[in-house]
């Protein structure tokens, strides 16, 4: 990354609440071009909300979100389309269009936004499906006919098919067996290396985080409480991070459960 070029993604003091509930309470985060950042954090801490805010699917109440140095909060019309065109996103629940066969899901952006001819779009969709370990006959099925893990991989293929500059992965490996999880991790690393894509991933799976991250950030109670290179995560000196990566029930993070 050139020192004087703006970061690809820059968040400053971003807040977002739902009614009384403050989910993001001032997030600061910088992601450089072609960098891979992984956000970790407990369930319900607002990781998915963070991604959706950057995509302007959700509107943050305050703060600033800059992509390539340009403010994106409050964009509309053509400018918003250009902004969104840079992104690919894998949703936590895959969010496949159940009225379309798998290959049309994967080729959706190619067919509509990029106006690629149908035949070529189909070939590219099939090739992308193959790269996530799905055969051509899966391409003709409908999403409802797939297992959860297969849906996740189709979602992944859809996110990367149009070769976006920025890709968000919301829990790419949950619901996959360990071998397939590793294949997906490799694929994400490859996306960054080959497409030069900037990626922001969310995961609970530390093995996956270690594999795909350049940097790791931890989200807790609406703030980024720690961030650093992945090599530092094991000796962060932060008790929250330590508790999270070792998955211990006792520590500074208290789960809201009652003892039986």
Ligand X SMILES: Nc1ncnc2c1ncn2[C@@H]1O[C@H](COP(=O)(O)OP(=O)(O)OP(=O)(O)O)[C@@H](O)[C@H]1O
40 bridge partner residues: 218
Q: Which residues, in sequence order, are bridge partners of residue 14? A: 27
Check binding of 97 to another protein (CB under 8 A).
yes
Q: CB of residue 162 vs ligand X: minimum separation in angstroms?
A: 24
Rounded to a whole number of angstroms, the minimum distance from the CB of residue 74 to ligand X is 19
Distance CA 260, CA 258 (A): 6
The token duo for 81 is 């389309």
Q: How many CA atoms lie within 13 A of 240 on its CB side?
A: 16
For the bound state, the minimum distance from the C-beta of residue 26 to Mg ion, rounded and expressed in Å, comes to 20
61 contacts another protein (rule: CB under 8 A): no
Cα–chain-centroid distance for residue 50?
A: 10
**Per rule CB under 6 A, is residue 23 in the interface with ligand X?**
yes
Comparing CB distances to Mg ion, the nearer of 50 and 213 is 50
Q: By C-alpha distance, which of 90, 126, 130, 85 is closest to 109?
A: 85
From ligand X, another protein, Mg ion, none, which one binds at residue 17 (CB under 5 to 8 Å depending on kind)? Answer: none
What is the torsional sign of CA 28, 221, 244, 43? negative
Region of 61-69, 107-115, 212-220, 237-245 interacting with another protein (CB under 8 A): 107-115
Q: What is the dihedral of CA 9, 26, 44, 160, to 10 degrees?
A: -10
24 near ligand X, judged by CB under 6 A:
no
| Nearest approach, Cβ of residue 101 and ligand X (Å) | 28
Residues 146-165 binding another protein (CB under 8 A) are 158, 162
Chain residues in the site for another protein (CB under 8 A): 52, 55, 57, 81, 84-85, 87-89, 91-93, 95-98, 108-109, 112-113, 158, 162
């Amino acid at each position: 990354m050139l020192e004087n070029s703006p970061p690809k993604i820059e968040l400053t003091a971003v807040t977002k609440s739902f009614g009384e509930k403050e989910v993001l309470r001032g997030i600061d985060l910088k992601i450089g071009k072609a960098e891979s950042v992984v956000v970790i954090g407990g369930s319900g801490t607002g990781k998915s909300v963070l991604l959706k805010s950057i995509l302007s699917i959700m509107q943050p109440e305050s703060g600033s979100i800059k992509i390539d140095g340009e403010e994106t909060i409050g964009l509309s019309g053509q400018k918003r389309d250009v902004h969104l065109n840079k992104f690919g996103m894998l949703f936590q629940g895959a969010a496949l269009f159940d009225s379309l066969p798998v290959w049309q899901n994967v080729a959706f952006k190619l067919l509509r936004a990029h106006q690629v001819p149908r035949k070529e779009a189909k070939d590219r969709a099939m090739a992308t499906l193959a790269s996530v370990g799905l055969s051509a006959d899966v391409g003709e099925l409908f999403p409802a006919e797939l297992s959860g893990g297969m849906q996740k991989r189709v979602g992944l293929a859809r996110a990367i098919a149009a070769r976006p500059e920025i890709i968000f992965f919301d829990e790419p490996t949950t619901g996959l067996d360990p071998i397939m999880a590793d294949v997906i991790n490799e694929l994400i690393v490859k996306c960054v290396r080959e497409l030069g894509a900037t990626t922001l991933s969310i995961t609970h799976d530390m093995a996956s985080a270690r594999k795909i991250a350049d940097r790791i950030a931890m989200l807790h109670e609406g703030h980024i409480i720690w961030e650093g290179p992945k090599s530092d995560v094991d000796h962060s000196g932060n008790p929250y991070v330590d508790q999270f990566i070792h998955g211990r029930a006792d520590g500074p993070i208290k789960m809201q459960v009652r003892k039986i």
